[in-house]
Chains A and B, each alone.
Chain A
């Protein structure tokens, strides 16, 4: 009997690791972000000035927040029709056929490509292509990073959406067919209404992924500390400013970068919680 109690304790103690890691994470981020919030207060979030020159230091994260949100929203908008069509392809039109499994495994492969490889491909293939199309002379900026982000989050949105779509009961669909509905009408009036919240949740979770992506965005956004002024404007994102400026950071600048990390942590946490809540409500 005694060994059973020990086993129970070992399992319980290991679960405490999760408590410690999550608690410690919040504690450390807040602790190290305090100096910059003490010095600048709300101006840290609302100011656009990022100046690490000693003596005239001033840190405002607004350009990076704006850059992260615009690239991620753009990625979401591009991802929406593509992931939706692909999940219909996999889970409705070609359900359980070898077509669907080929497309499905290729989408899975997309999820396996490392962020830095996406960055390289974006830099050496996508960027010249955008220059060639005459969209932008440089090819850097919000549009290019939004596009690469969209490709990166499509697998997340697709795998969850197609799972939800394939769970719509056949009886409901057959009932609609028997009334003479076409396939499009079945999708519109039966599949989508039944799978709606799951599909929405999948896009919310994919959006959360886009917010935190670092390397690919760093390589394509242009790293200019300005609020983006248009689709082809350069900018900078929260994750990439951390990656780019971390090397030479100490003191107040380090605290500013950690504060940006804290903001990123809070924003992605909220987005993910909302996504999980929508899924929970559904089941």
Chain B
């Protein structure tokens, strides 16, 4: 952190300097407000246009056929049906991904915490960082090659879960390691000194005392993958019916939004579905922020 030496001129131009200072402050304020304006506009637009479509059947019925939607649109009625096949699909895909990513991610995070700066641990840490930067569409390709072609021999919810698992892993690994670093070493040592086996120290000391940190990491990683569309397009494909079979093609809320967007008869449904998805993602975000604030 070398500070360059700069010569400051000795002329008295303080009025000019103060003016420049003021102008820059206002520029920063104006540009910052412009920068955050999209979030207000986006949420406003979704709420404004999506509110009308959200009703009870939106959460209980499957997507309408394009023909039913066309008739409703031409009679100027609300499009019938809902997105329950997308909601259950998202629950299935994200649920399976979480079941795989959370335990493995926490174990790897613990491993990195235990092994500090050893070369092998550094290698794993760097690889995990690289994985975090891989575009989601590439993870979709990988899950297609490994699962769709290799395991389920067809599009499947499980393939989608694998792609999302690879997205979640680096986030959970990082959150676990950072949380473990914050726990006072004396806690762990006290457990070890009592002769408690190491796995019990992990389960009874490390994880409970770092619970809020782990929870934040997990919720943030779930909120990150909830809205993912591209990898699911290549793996889970979509399904007009409710499906709980992980080896069969399955829909998901973001996939439905993509379908609605491409179907002129159903295009009105994009707003309510997006509003629902955003609400879901933002709620998770806010809960995890609350946990951080409580700590």
Interface residues of A (CB under 8 A from B): 3-4, 6-8, 10-12, 14-15, 17-19, 21-22, 24-25, 28-29, 32, 81-83, 85-86, 88-89, 93, 103, 105-110, 112-121, 123-125, 151, 154, 158, 172, 179, 181-185, 187, 189-190, 193-194, 205, 208-209, 211-215, 219, 239, 242-243, 246, 257-258, 261, 264-265, 268-269, 271-273, 276, 282
Residues of B within 8 A of A11 (CB): 107-108, 110-111, 114
Would you give the shortest CB distance from A28 to chain B, in whole angstroms? 5
Residues of A within 8 A of B294 (CB): none
Asked if B3 and A193 make an inter-chain contact with CB atoms under 8 angstroms apart, the answer reads yes
Interface residues of B (CB under 8 A from A): 1-4, 6, 8, 17-18, 20-21, 24-25, 27-29, 31-32, 34-36, 38-42, 45-46, 104, 107-108, 110-112, 114, 120-121, 124, 126-131, 133-138, 140-142, 144-146, 166, 169, 173, 197-199, 202, 223, 226-230, 233-234, 254, 257-258, 261, 270-271, 274, 277-278, 281-282, 285, 289
Which of B20, B28, B137, B169 is packed against the most chain A CB atoms within 10 Å? B137
- C-alpha spacing A104/B31, complex, angstroms: 14
- C-alpha spacing A121/B202, complex, angstroms: 46
Asked if B136 and A114 make an inter-chain contact with CB atoms under 8 angstroms apart, the answer reads no
Chain B facing A: main interface SS: helix
Residue in B closest to A187 when the chains form the complex, CB atoms = B24
Residues of B within 8 A of A7 (CB): 197-199, 202
Residues of B within 8 A of A114 (CB): 226-229, 254, 277-278, 281
Asked if A269 and B134 make an inter-chain contact with CB atoms under 8 angstroms apart, the answer reads yes
Residue in A closest to B223 when the chains form the complex, CB atoms = A112
Asked if A116 and B202 make an inter-chain contact with CB atoms under 8 angstroms apart, the answer reads no
> Lowest 9 CB-CB distances: which A-B pairs, in order?
A114-B227, A212-B135, A272-B133, A14-B107, A85-B31, A214-B230, A11-B111, A182-B21, A89-B32
Would you give the shortest CB distance from B10 to chain A, in whole angstroms? 11
Asked if B1 and A105 make an inter-chain contact with CB atoms under 8 angstroms apart, the answer reads no
Whether A82 contacts B141 in the complex (CB less than 8 A), given A21-B166, A116-B258, comes out as: no
Asked if B227 and A116 make an inter-chain contact with CB atoms under 8 angstroms apart, the answer reads yes
Asked if A268 and B133 make an inter-chain contact with CB atoms under 8 angstroms apart, the answer reads yes
- C-alpha spacing A214/B142, complex, angstroms: 16
Asked if B39 and A85 make an inter-chain contact with CB atoms under 8 angstroms apart, the answer reads no
Asked if B281 and A112 make an inter-chain contact with CB atoms under 8 angstroms apart, the answer reads yes
- C-alpha spacing A81/B3, complex, angstroms: 23
Asked if B36 and A212 make an inter-chain contact with CB atoms under 8 angstroms apart, the answer reads no
Residue in B closest to A246 when the chains form the complex, CB atoms = B234
- 11 chain-A/chain-B pairs, Cβ below 8 angstroms: A14-B104, A24-B142, A25-B138, A106-B40, A113-B39, A116-B258, A117-B274, A119-B261, A158-B35, A243-B233, A264-B138
Task: Choose one: B3, B17, B108; the contact of A18 (CB below 8 Å).
Answer: B108
Would you give the shortest CB distance from B143 to chain A, in whole angstroms? 10
Asked if A151 and B3 make an inter-chain contact with CB atoms under 8 angstroms apart, the answer reads no
Task: Choose one: A107, A121, A273; the contact of B36 (CB below 8 Å).
Answer: A107
Asked if A86 and B35 make an inter-chain contact with CB atoms under 8 angstroms apart, the answer reads yes
Residues of A within 8 A of B137 (CB): 212, 214, 239, 242-243, 261, 264
Task: Choose one: B32, B107, B285; the contact of A10 (CB below 8 Å).
Answer: B107
Asked if A269 and B31 make an inter-chain contact with CB atoms under 8 angstroms apart, the answer reads no
Whether A121 contacts B223 in the complex (CB less than 8 A), given A89-B32, A193-B3, A273-B130, comes out as: no
Asked if A83 and B41 make an inter-chain contact with CB atoms under 8 angstroms apart, the answer reads no
Would you give the shortest CB distance from A82 to chain B, in whole angstroms? 4
Would you give the shortest CB distance from A197 to chain B, in whole angstroms? 9
- C-alpha spacing A187/B199, complex, angstroms: 50
Residues of A within 8 A of B233 (CB): 243, 246
Residues of B within 8 A of A183 (CB): 21, 24-25
- C-alpha spacing A263/B9, complex, angstroms: 51
Asked if B133 and A208 make an inter-chain contact with CB atoms under 8 angstroms apart, the answer reads yes
Asked if B227 and A117 make an inter-chain contact with CB atoms under 8 angstroms apart, the answer reads yes
- C-alpha spacing A184/B128, complex, angstroms: 39
Asked if A113 and B136 make an inter-chain contact with CB atoms under 8 angstroms apart, the answer reads no
